[in-house]
Chain A
């Protein structure tokens, strides 16, 4: 029997309830965290992700917690934290909000660095300040707040970082099992990405076979959040156009050789994932992928239209506006940009623009595909019979 005043014994791992805010680069690394925690013995049913972003969430749980004015994808995190701390029927034991320094991008090794945005990587420190500035809201709620700094593009370093950042939250954690769990996390993430890329290839092959247009969304991972990207691509899909997200574009060698082989032979780039020809300062992971997405969209005939999404005050997107548009439009591909997305869905203007986009697609998609096919090298692997 424990004496009065002594801390309660830690929950066994399978009982541990861990909350994770569904924000920023969690959108493209959540499978890592699930694989990691499951491997450590945490019951996946006890891993609670906050809801999709919504204005209501911010009003109910994040009010008065903001510390600085910045882009909405960062600002909205106060609502996510608040929901996890104050809005759970069954209390959480741990709030896990990783500071992700760099990302395991498919462009790694071909670009200078794969860093996350400075606001994105530091967001947990910023949001935390709003929860401790008067009193420690986590401690008052009996929640252990952990925010491991983690370099997901440096797998050798990850176990050390996660062990240091998580040992106070996971009972009896050892370095060895952290390393094993990190491997499991990377494996889960890889398998998930491979599965989605395979799906995207199927979509592309169908488009090539049927000579039908598809659309590519070029955006940051968190634009998949309905409260941030406002499901613009869903509205477009309702018109019958398949949607591809640049993050999960197929990167099979045959397709890459066909799309970028000429550029490599001409010396513009060293590999299919090299973007120096359009973006020399390739430090930021999501920015690099956006530039690469524009390049690949410009070279695939059935991508007749690119939809660019960008949030209000996104500093990382800002220098890319002109190059991305030029890369896409120069290839004859339609380009539409939804900039300055904020908390409120601009439903009226989205509807009008979606109608405009589909009008253009109906009118020009066939001609765009035909012209891009004519300009493309022979032997497209998406059409083996051709």
Chain B
């Protein structure tokens, strides 16, 4: 049994293994950093520590996120990186057997980021690989 933190990017429902997540917050006072990869939105102050916030939309090959009341940061345990997402969903459980390998493509999302697909009752949950997201872009 694995648990996933779910969130939305555009209309996609996505999830990341809960074990890779440190916390979820709404520290959206992001200081932009110039001259870095386009998917890096900037830095936030997480209780005295600086956390690099990725625009998960840009990272996945979609458009840049627009900050709304529902925007959240999913802070990963590794590298002090936060992922800016449109909104946060429930924690969803799935058996290992329920996780299917990713199809050739899921919409416009780059395939390499997708670790698997879980078919929920009414929609697909795209499981993202935190590792791949953190991999530096060449």
Chain A partners chain B: no
Which residues in A have some Cβ–Cβ distance to B below 8 Å? Answer: none
Which residues in B have some Cβ–Cβ distance to A below 8 Å? Answer: none
